Amino acid sequence: MFKRKTIIHRKLMFILILGIIILEASLNNYVVKAEEGQKTAIFLVPHQDDELLTFGVAILDHLWNNYDVHLVLMTDGGASSANKVICDKLGFELTIEQFVEARNNEFIRSAQILGVDKDHLHFMEYKDGEITTDDVKNTILTFQEQYPNASFKATSYLDKNSSHAAVGEGLQQMYDEGKVKDARFYMTFYQFGYEPIPETGYDNYHPHFQPLIEASADVYNRWQPEFAWYAIGGHSVPMLLEKVKENPISRWHMPGFER
């Protein structure tokens, strides 16, 4: 009797495993078909938290419209003044490597909440405040090899932040040289405000984006130092995180825009 039950059990396990294999094969075929002809959008993100504050609505809107979205974190974010504030609060020093890793963890979790797969997150690790237009252009060329028809999104070259401006200027130069055909430049709401500006546009905001925006912002306020969550974004730009919850926008201008 026991032997018979064992044989039946083995047969059931075989059928179950076979079913899983068939299901995975079907899903893989489905994914391949779903990606055929899919447009790719590559966001050049200067710092951890810019994916939310500047690009949040744009990322969600592109995903909503079935784009293959990639986020390229351009700098290590190590120059943030929040480091000292947090170390004073902790009562001990964080190494720059620990600080950058903690910032990256905030970025990864925020991006995942917005809907970007972890394997679509890329880390260039240029030194914050020292990134050059050549660094940006080389990065774009690297991604063009894999995604030749991708559209590129960057922060505006008019931005007051030097890293933001360098990322935008690099993309503008690539556009001027004819190496990028589709480029948009995003304007931070904390510099350019909310008032209408001629020759600028907005990505579409949908009400169902709101919980994702809020959850993404909450990541940057997570204070659990025992698990290396230091609320770095919350210590750096607390008012901006509240503003993006209240009025989330992604405003952009086209290449060559002047103000």
Amino acid residing at 110? S
The CA–CA distances, whole Å, from 218 to 30, 84, 223, 242 equal 34, 21, 10, 10
User: What's the CA gap between 16 and 12, in Å, rounded?
Assistant: 6
Beta bridge partners, 200, equal 253
**pLDDT score at 160:** 97
**pLDDT score at 37:** 81
Q: What's the token pair of residue 32?
A: 């391949």
User: Each residue of 54-105: pLDDT tens digit?
Assistant: 999 999 999 999 999 999 999 999 999 999 999 999 999 999 999 999 999 9
> Nearest Cα to 136, choosing from 122, 124, 147, 128?
124
What's the pTM?
Answer: 0.86
User: Each residue of 111-170: pLDDT tens digit?
Assistant: 999 999 999 999 999 999 999 999 999 999 999 999 999 999 999 999 999 999 999 999
For the chain, the straight-line distance linking the first and the last C-alpha, in angstroms and rounded, comes to 85
Q: What's the token pair of residue 160?
A: 């007051």
Average pLDDT over residues 24-41: 54
